[in-house]
Amino acid sequence: MSKAPRVTVVGAGVLGLTTALALADCGCDVTVCDPGGPNASSIAAGMIAPAFEAVLDESARPHLDLLMLARDLWPGLAQRAGIVLDRSGALAVGDETWLETVAAGFAALQIRPMSIGGDAARGLAPGLSEAFDEALLSREDWRVDAPTALSALTSAATAAGVTFQRRIVRERGDADVLVIATGAKEGLEAVAPELSHLSPIKGHIVRVAAQSAGATVRGEGVYAAPGSGLAFGATMEAGRSDVGIEDDKAMPLLAAGLRLFPGLRGAPVQMAAGVRATTPDGLPMVGASAAPGVLLAVGARRNGWLVAPLVATMVAACVTGRDAGPYAAALDPARFGA
């Protein structure tokens, strides 16, 4: 019997952890290296949201099929790692013109949201403002609590035999395969030149202390995602890679969130910022680098939680010599050239 490949995964965000678990499940000898501390995955809202992302985000719109496939891998991952997957769905609320735009977006994608009344919406999203007397409900979008899910992934990976090292990786090393899942952090471009195609997008998010459960709410320019408190997100600040909190970015988010949930005015608030990594076409880079024995799992933009199981499955297929599936070419790191 040939020896299990030794794989080093650089990065313990959602892409690194999910990939490490998939590789361990395929019999690889996996080490995850990360210095620790907050990352984009830990501050994210945890929405698994193919439908609303395709409707509301231009760069996601052409990729609904890929996003749906990724979402459909979530029940298996949730069961494998012991993650609670909330399937309450997501609601759009707002003025008539904006709701019409959202409805047209759904129609263009041939997804049928349900039109519901304000009281029904408040039943699904307790605390939602009395100002809304109608809403659009889609059950296509799901959610996890990001910090809890990261812990569950770490525990599942550890139980599967993955070892963890708290350190920064600066070079290729001697593992049979190096998987780079470093999010928006720079530093390994000399190891994998494709990383120079990534650029950062800073995102502020505001968490209000509240008992929260039920559906995610999408308003114009803001969402409110239950979980650990209610998260109002998120700004998209292209080209920014710092994580400093700026009042002029965070306070408008808080104000917009409180218009959705006015009863939370005065509740304790926690502000955070993280950095997403994006490629020029908004899709991740997944698969072989030009550098021998190096694979990439980076560039998931604002949908890293959503696409994580797809990325993990594809990387595991590459390492074990299996077919990486229908999106291998679309996500090939070579697509942007040298």
Ligand X SMILES: Cc1cc2nc3c(=O)[nH]c(=O)nc-3n(C[C@H](O)[C@H](O)[C@H](O)COP(=O)(O)OP(=O)(O)OC[C@H]3O[C@@H](n4cnc5c(N)ncnc54)[C@H](O)[C@@H]3O)c2cc1C
Q: Which residues bind ligand X (CB under 6 A)?
A: 10-16, 33-35, 39-41, 43-47, 168-169, 181-185, 187-188, 203, 205, 233-234, 274, 276, 298, 300-306
Q: CB nearer to ligand X: give 14 or 319.
A: 14
Q: 80: which 2 tokens?
A: 């494998």
Q: CB nearer to ligand X: give 111 or 120.
A: 111
- Alpha helices (H) in the chain, listed in sequence order: 14-25, 40-43, 50-56, 64-72, 74-81, 96-108, 118-124, 146-159, 247-260, 304-320
Q: CB nearer to ligand X: give 127 or 274.
A: 274
d(CA 211, CA 227): 9
CB of residue 230 to ligand X, shortest distance in Å = 13
Q: CB nearer to ligand X: give 131 or 238.
A: 238
Q: 122: which 2 tokens?
A: 């408040």
CB of residue 233 to ligand X, shortest distance in Å = 5
Rounded alpha-carbon distances, angstroms, from residue 11 to 14, 15, 160: 9, 8, 18
Rounded alpha-carbon distances, angstroms, from residue 41 to 101, 137, 182, 184, 275: 30, 26, 11, 11, 9
Q: CB nearer to ligand X: give 181 or 263.
A: 181
d(CA 127, CA 215): 11
Q: CB nearer to ligand X: give 5 or 233.
A: 233
Distance of CA 90 to the CA centre of its chain: 16
Q: How many other CB atoms sit within 10 Å of the CB of residue 299?
A: 29
Query: Which amino acid, one-letter code, is at 308?
Result: A
CB of residue 326 to ligand X, shortest distance in Å = 20
CB of residue 128 to ligand X, shortest distance in Å = 19
CB of residue 164 to ligand X, shortest distance in Å = 11
Burial of 332 (0-12, 13-18, 19+ CB in 10 A): middle
Query: Which amino acid, one-letter code, is at 124?
Result: L
CB of residue 153 to ligand X, shortest distance in Å = 10
d(CA 275, CA 242): 7
d(CA 331, CA 97): 36
CB of residue 73 to ligand X, shortest distance in Å = 13
